[in-house]
Amino acid sequence: AQSVAQPEDQVNVAEGNPLTVKCTYSVSGNPYLFWYVQYPNRGLQFLLKYITGDNLVKGSYGFEAEFNKSQTSFHLKKPSALVSDSALYFCAVRDVGGDKLIFGTGTRLQVFP
């Protein structure tokens, strides 16, 4: 069965420092991977996705993610964190043979000024 794991419940980083939010996946076949962000009292917003091609994917708000097949990881990164990046981040994988997304449990990012 397909799954994703987000090993950190919370990540704390100082404003201006680089940030990484971790995600590992388990799928049979080629993985289609997504990152979403959830701000308080708002819906899930799409950040970026990996389907095929370049392992470094660039997305919204300066975020990027690196697909690593050998480590089965898809970590979300940003070179310089902003306080406004503080939110809940979800990694997801498309179910093989279907269209539903399978989400991780989420990582809360806290950026301190």
For residues 98 and 113, which CB has a smaller minimum distance to other proteins in the complex? 98
Quote the CA–CA distance of 89 and 92 in Å, as a whole number.
Answer: 10
Closest separation in Å from C-beta 66 to other proteins: 19
**Contacts to other proteins by CB under 8 A:** 32, 34, 36, 42-46, 49, 51, 90, 92, 94-106
Find, among 42, 55, 47, the residue nearest to 92 by Cα: 47
Closest separation in Å from C-beta 82 to other proteins: 22
Closest separation in Å from C-beta 68 to other proteins: 20
For residues 97 and 113, which CB has a smaller minimum distance to other proteins in the complex? 97
Helices assigned H by DSSP within 1-113: none
CB 17 within 8 A of CB 11: no
- What the block records as the tokens of 34 is 């997504």
